[in-house]
Amino acid sequence: MRLQFVLTEVLQGLRRNLSMVVSVVLVTFVSLTFVGAAALLQTQVTKLKGDWYDLVEVSVFLCPDGSTAPTCADGEATEEQIEALEKVIDSELSQIVATTYFESKAEAFEAFSELYPDGYQGTQLTEDDMQASFRLKLVDPEQYQVVDDVLEGRAGVEVVEDQREVFEPLFLALGRASLLAAGLAGVMLLAAVLLITTTIRLSAVSRRRETGIMRLVGASNLFVQLPFMLEGAIAALVGALLAVGGLWLGVQYLVTDWLQDSVDWVAYVDVGDVLLIAPLLVGIAVLLAVVSSVVTLNRYTRV
């Protein structure tokens, strides 16, 4: 009987404040969509780093003819300089470098010819235009600076490059986008809290007579406040489910069906990642509704 009474009160409250309930649903939907987008962006950054950081190499480009680098004052790197560099890599960097590959000018030209069979931007290059290099795969890509400190400035070395520099701007942009989404989500969540508070307050004021009667017959605080709390929780829960559905559709059709078909060499977030963050979004929605309700109801319906 008590459950039936509570459910009846909840339905009546939702019907009486329908416009405010719809507002709560929409604001919760938008705010949690931003929260989910921020979480998915961060997941995407983690996936990209996990895939690409394992593939990146440190390239040690050796001196070609005509280089103006101070370490190339004697011209193209000699065999003795190359052997000396190999010894340094095998000794001083043995704990940091996992694999070492030496690419000669001939091998560099062969790779260039496969990549640009018609020349680069209309310019035909020869083997003499190529540059020999060492390609170092590190045990931990984060230890690039150690390699740079050891090899930079040695005779025969023109420059030491870390391929991570190619990817860092992308990671930085995605990270900033996730922060922006999180900031917008925070603002929208605040708006959702204010709307839930206002909705519950209006509902409580409009039912002062009913709550007064319940107080006279000895109803507890929880029994009086429960219908109002459920109203806010239901509205917020619907908004959370809409946010999950929107994120699921966005990832499915924009990422999986479109972006992944266009650029298939990147590990993207998928609907599985959306389902992983779904409990978080639902939990945030319910928590916001319950906290907002308790704070408001303690003032307007306290026995």
**Structure tokens belonging to residue 284:** 């945030």
213: enclosing H helix or E strand: helix 208-216
Mean local confidence (pLDDT), 120-129: 73
pLDDT score at 10: 54
Name the residue type at position 159: V
CA dist., res. 152 & res. 144, Å (int): 11
pLDDT greater at residue 55 or residue 111: 111
Among 130-139, 176-185, 210-219, the range scoring the smallest mean pLDDT is 210-219
Measured CA to CA, the distance from residue 84 to residue 78 in angstroms comes to 10
By the 10 Å C-beta count (0-12 exposed, 13-18 middle, 19+ buried), 92 is classed as: middle
Does residue 165 contact residue 133 with C-beta atoms inside 8 Å? no
Which residues are registered as beta bridge partners of 222? none
Return the beta strands (E) in the chain as ranges: 58-62, 97-103, 133-138, 157-162
**Gap between the Cα atoms of 125 and 94, Å rounded:** 35
Please report, for the chain, the start and end positions of each structural domain, with discontinuous segments joined by +. 2-52+168-300, 58-162
> Helices (DSSP H) in 53-163: which residue ranges?
79-91, 105-115, 144-151
Q: Check: CB of residue 248 under 8 Å from CB of residue 270.
A: no
In angstroms, the CA 2 to CA 171 distance is 55
Q: Which residue did the predictor score with more confidence, 230 or 11?
A: 230
Contacts 24+ apart (CB under 8 A), 249-252: 251/40
Q: What is the pLDDT of residues 82-91, one digit of tens each?
A: 898 999 888 8
- pLDDT at residue 147 above 60? yes
Q: What is the mean pLDDT of residues 196-218?
A: 62
pLDDT tens column, 153-184: 888 888 888 766 666 776 677 778 777 877 87
Q: What is the CA radius of gyration of the chain?
A: 31
d(CA 79, CA 58) in angstroms, rounded, equals 21
**Residue 248: pLDDT band by 50, 70, 90 thresholds?**
very high
Percent of the chain with pLDDT over 70: 73
Domain 58-162 listed as CATH 3.30.70.20: no
- What integer pLDDT is reported at residue 51 of this predicted model? 63
For 43, 181, 298, the CA distances from 164, given in Å and listed in that order, are 19, 25, 55
Is the pLDDT at 301 greater than 90, yes or no? no
pLDDT at 5: 46
Residues 6+ apart with CB under 8 A from 136: 57, 58, 59, 60, 89, 93, 97, 99, 100, 101, 147
List, for residues 53-66, the tens digit of each pLDDT value: 666 678 888 988 88
